[in-house]
Amino acid sequence: MNFITKFKNISQKNNSLLCIGLDQADYDFNKKIIDQTADLVCAYKPNSAFYEAQGISGIESLKKTCDYINSLAIPIILDAKRADIDSTNQGYIKFAFDYLGADSLTLHPYLGRQALQPFLDLADKFFFILCRTSNPGAGEFQDYHQLFEKVAENVSKNWNSNNNCGLVTGATYPEELKKIRKIVGSMPLLIPGIGAQGADLEKTVKAALDGDFLINSSRGIIFSDNPRQAAKKLKEEINEYH
């Protein structure tokens, strides 16, 4: 089952557009979060950096976390922001998909389509490509000659022949998000920046309408006093504005 099918199935079943980022390199911690929120989400997004930083134990936790999520038929977006020459990308592919069993991977567009072709050829996998990111300094390059708009155009018109591409678009920039939606039509958007980064949820959801999207929250849920309640509240707010 490919990412989009899994996403559509679980999104409909849970009536949810909420993706939870798993930014703690501890399987037992993650399992508790998953057990409390599995009926509230449309995907989970472990960030590879937190697990890599712990060495072997971290990678083992990441593998066990992915195995557990897969047993629940919930999509996994591995947030690793990969991109390199095509031969190196084969190594990233084996780790993300053959070893971890992820359904989707985040990618940098900077090396261009030719370098990323080994990813794009995987029709049963899905790739969220950085377009307008949520960090404060994102505009240093992304706003230069509207580079983020060029990325959106290229990915939607030239890279997406297998219908396995989406974009990462930060909730902290709702006007840019609105421009991207107009360019890419209904293409799926992965939207970070809600919660700890303080973006406006209503503006974000309204800017993302007329297409598929996933609202991601990590720290705002997993480190809250009551992760289930925090996830339920955010899910319901997303649905209200949607």
* Residues involved in catalysis: 81
d(CA 189, CA 126): 12
d(CA 228, CA 216): 15
- The first and second tokens of residue 53, run together, are 């930083």
H-type alpha helices, the chain: 3-14, 27-37, 48-52, 56-71, 86-93, 113-120, 139-142, 147-154, 174-184, 201-208, 219-222, 227-241
Q: At what angle do helices 27-37 and 56-71 cross, to 10 degrees?
A: 20
- The first and second tokens of residue 103, run together, are 């359904």
